[in-house]
């Protein structure tokens, strides 16, 4: 029996994780849940899974949650500290880190320091503080298992092979909803159009990131830290069908790929049960019905966010943290219709150009770079 704490339990990854848990009551139990604004959803999860502790976004939500609960009365915490408390529960074996954005960094670090294995769906944790997290993983001797479908695919394709035999890793991208949209039309894209992803069902922020290709850029940085690969050995290819989730090319010319239906329950189940496998509940892949699989180069002129991410990775220091923070602010502004679609990458670019980088060591220094970038990005938007 593996006991879990799920950070971001009411989001798309959290809901999929609980569905996998629901299918395997003999394998998994839930000790902790951390959620944001969906208090009613959290209340339903508490009634079903009976955790010992939960966390909500703010103190006002604590009273609201208590009013909704029946007989089950877990400890209720709030804020970043509350999520960190849930992540550090003594009885947990593994923490599913699925809080959206840089907000997931502090609770994930707390979980690692508490000796918990991490199923990582929060790529921003490694984007913002990759060196710190990597050092802590080694120090506390815990497993960091990727949940992003692309990184799970690479992780699976590396099994049984030597890292020194890898020529490169290849991340696949759906291309988003505007893969074939002319560049001059991108300025007129609305949030409503951008939120209609052609393949995946995800939260608003990650869906917009997929539309700009920033999500793929963040995944490049995450892959660097997960698999100890330099930027030069990380490739990106657009694969609209989203059947091949990523690939590893070896020095002998052979390529190993992981295929499956575009459903996040598969990589979640793999991370939760690793080194075993368990039923995920997804539809089995029918290759005959799937038909043709196509690939193309990403258009980096129309989607400059991908280049910005590669630039941040190569420059290192605090640039990745600044890239991520500025992007979070810009995406929020786009969703609020304060800037246009192309303004997202423009805001990130301006913020990175204004930044004076430094080499962070402590967690607070990474958070300092994050705060600076948010303030500067807001000024550019205003």
Q: In the numeric block, which tokens belong to residue 326?
A: 């500025």
Cα-based distances in Å from 42 to 23, 25, 284: 19, 19, 30
How far is Cα of residue 15 from the mean position of the Cα atoms in its chain?
14
Of 3.40.50.720, 1.10.3720.10, 2.60.40.1580, 1.10.3470.10, the CATH number of 2-146 is 3.40.50.720
Mean of pLDDT values over 87-110? 95
CA distance 87 to 8: 11
Q: In the numeric block, which tokens belong to residue 197?
A: 């992803």
Query: Which residues, other chains included, contact 107 with Cβ-Cβ below 8 Å and sequence gap of 6+?
Result: 7, 34, 80, 83, 84, 86, 87, 95, 97, 99
Q: What is the DSSP code (8-state) at residue 283?
A: P
Q: In the numeric block, which tokens belong to residue 111?
A: 């979980």
Q: What was the pLDDT predicted at 211?
A: 94
> How much is the mean pLDDT over the chain?
95
CATH 1.10.1740.10 fits 316-382, yes or no: yes
Model pTM score: 0.94
Q: In the numeric block, which tokens belong to residue 338?
A: 């304060």
Span 302-322, pLDDT tens digits: 999 999 999 999 999 999 999
Residue 203 has pLDDT above 90, yes or no: no
**Domain limits of the chain?**
2-146, 151-261+284-300, 316-382
Mean of pLDDT values over 183-200? 85
Q: What was the pLDDT predicted at 201?
A: 63
Q: In the numeric block, which tokens belong to residue 151?
A: 């990184």
Find out whether the peptide bond into 15 is cis, omega within 30 degrees of 0: no
More confident residue, 269 or 102: 269
Contact status, residue 370 vs residue 128, Cβ threshold 8 Å: yes
Q: What was the pLDDT predicted at 200?
A: 59
């Amino acid at each position: 029996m593996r006991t879990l704490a799920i950070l971001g339990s009411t989001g798309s990854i959290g809901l999929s994780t609980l569905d996998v848990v629901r299918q395997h009551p003999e394998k998994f139990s839930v000790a902790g849940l951390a959620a944001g604004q969906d208090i009613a959803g959290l209340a339903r999860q508490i009634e079903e899974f009976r955790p010992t502790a939960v966390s909500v976004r703010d103190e006002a939500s604590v009273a609201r949650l208590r009013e909704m609960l029946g007989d089950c009365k877990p400890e209720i915490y709030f804020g970043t500290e509350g999520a960190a408390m849930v992540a550090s529960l003594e009885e947990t074996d593994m923490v599913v880190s699925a809080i959206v954005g840089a907000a997931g960094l502090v609770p994930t670090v707390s979980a690692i320091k508490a000796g918990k294995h991490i199923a990582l769906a929060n790529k921003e944790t490694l984007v913002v503080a990759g060196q710190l997290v990597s050092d802590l993983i080694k120090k506390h001797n815990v497993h960091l298992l990727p949940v992003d479908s692309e990184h799970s695919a690479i992780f699976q394709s590396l099994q049984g092979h030597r890292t020194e035999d890898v020529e490169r890793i290849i991340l696949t991208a759906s291309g988003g909803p505007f893969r074939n949209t002319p560049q001059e039309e991108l300025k007129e894209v609305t949030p409503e159009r951008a939120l209609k992803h052609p393949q995946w069902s995800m939260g608003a922020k990650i869906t917009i990131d997929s539309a700009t290709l920033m999500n793929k850029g963040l995944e490049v940085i995450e892959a660097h830290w997960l698999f100890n690969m330099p930027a030069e050995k990380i490739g990106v290819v657009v694969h609209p069908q989203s059947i091949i989730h990523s690939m590893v090319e070896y020095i002998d010319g052979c390529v190993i790929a992981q295929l499956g239906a575009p459903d996040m329950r598969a990589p979640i189940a793999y991370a939760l049960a690793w080194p075993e496998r368990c039923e995920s509940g997804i539809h089995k892949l029918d290759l005959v019905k799937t038909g043709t699989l196509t690939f193309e180069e990403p258009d980096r002129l129309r989607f400059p966010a991908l280049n910005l991410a590669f630039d941040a990775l190569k420059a290192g220091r605090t640039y990745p943290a600044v890239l991520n923070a500025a992007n979070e602010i810009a995406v929020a502004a786009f969703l609020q219709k304060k800037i246009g679609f192309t303004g997202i990458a423009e805001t990130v670019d301006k913020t990175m150009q204004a930044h004076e980088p430094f080499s962070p060591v402590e967690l607070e220094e990474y958070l300092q770079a994050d705060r600076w970038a948010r303030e500067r990005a807001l000024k550019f938007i205003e």
